Amino acid sequence: MPATDEESHYRRRDAVADHKRSLILRAALEVFHTDGLEGASMRAIAKQAGYTPGAIYAYFPSKEHIYAAALRESLGRLGAATTGAAVGARSPIQQFEAAGLAFFDFYRTNPRELDLGFYLFRGGMQPRGLSPELDRELNAALLAALDPLRRAVRATGRGERAAACLVADAFAHASGLLLLEHTGRIGLFPCTGRELMHRHLKKLLGEGSFSRTRRSTTRQS
């Protein structure tokens, strides 16, 4: 059945609202990239978006909520990348490597996404300004983006603790390499960050710290 005038009206209204929200988020990314979360202001974001501050408040109650929304969408894109990479691989080990590289490549090729994501990488090192509720939500979104790695480890027969520790290992290694990439310090060495990341991922599911044997020993102690 064709849409009624009322339905068409609501669809147009929603489309306009989505477009404005998208413009605000894009403008906010520019401001956050330049000023960081602490230095940004609703007035600066509104100016970048071409709106009045009052128009911004109609969509977001604070700059922290804008930051959280931008990071939430970024993590959604990250999760799509890791999931897609894992689906395209055959064995669990290949899925782990593919998802881990997809995580690294996402941030290596999108430096502004990395700047945004560093909120979570640095969490706890200094006050950052988001509420505990938003922190929990965003950390859950980050873990969801990393979940293809966890599922791949579990598919090898390892337990939940081993899977979580291996994902943490891959995440920590990627964070360090991304810092080298982001600052240009990787150029001091005769290898690329991606090479080092791939090498590390290959080692993790071998006879490493969280192999089946070590896991059994840990449980017995």
Q: Is the pLDDT of residue 6 over 50?
A: yes
Are 116 and 71 in a shared domain?
yes
What is the structure's pLDDT at 17?
84
What is the structure's pLDDT at 2?
66
State the total domains in the chain.
Answer: 2
Report the alpha-carbon distance of residue 201 to residue 194 in Å, rounded: 10
Q: State the SS3 of the chain.
A: CCCCHHHHHHHHHHHHHHHHHHHHHHHHHHHHHHHHHHHCCHHHHHHHHCCCHHHHHCCCCCHHHHHHHHHHHHHHHHHHHHHHHHHCCCCHHHHHHHHHHHHHHHHHHCHHHHHHHHHHHCCCCCCCCCCHHHHHHHHHHHHHHHHHHHHHHHCCCCCHHHHHHHHHHHHHHHHHHHHHHHHCHHHHCCCCHHHHHHHHHHHHCCCCCCCHHHHHHHHHC
Are 159 and 208 in a shared domain?
yes
Stretch 8-13: mean pLDDT, rounded?
70
Up-side HSE of residue 22: CA atoms within 13 Å toward CB? 6
What is the structure's pLDDT at 152?
97
Q: Which of 33-42, 77-86, 175-184 has the lowest mean pLDDT?
A: 33-42
Cα angle, residue 125 at apex, residues 120 and 130 outer, rounded to 5°: 50
Q: Is the pLDDT of residue 16 over 90?
A: no
Residue at a domain's end among 26, 42, 60: 60
Report the alpha-carbon distance of residue 185 to residue 100 in Å, rounded: 21
Are 99 and 42 in a shared domain?
no
Report the alpha-carbon distance of residue 144 to residue 110 in Å, rounded: 19
Are 148 and 213 in a shared domain?
yes
Residue at a domain's end among 45, 60, 75: 60
Q: What is the pTM of this model?
A: 0.83
The parent domain of residue 27 ranges over 1-60
Are 53 and 153 in a shared domain?
no
pLDDT band at 210 (very low <50, low <70, confident <90, very high): low
Residue at a domain's end among 33, 60, 87: 60
Tens-place pLDDT, residues 92-125:
999 999 999 999 999 999 988 888 887 766 554 3
Are 144 and 115 in a shared domain?
yes
What is the structure's pLDDT at 116?
86
pLDDT band at 73 (very low <50, low <70, confident <90, very high): very high
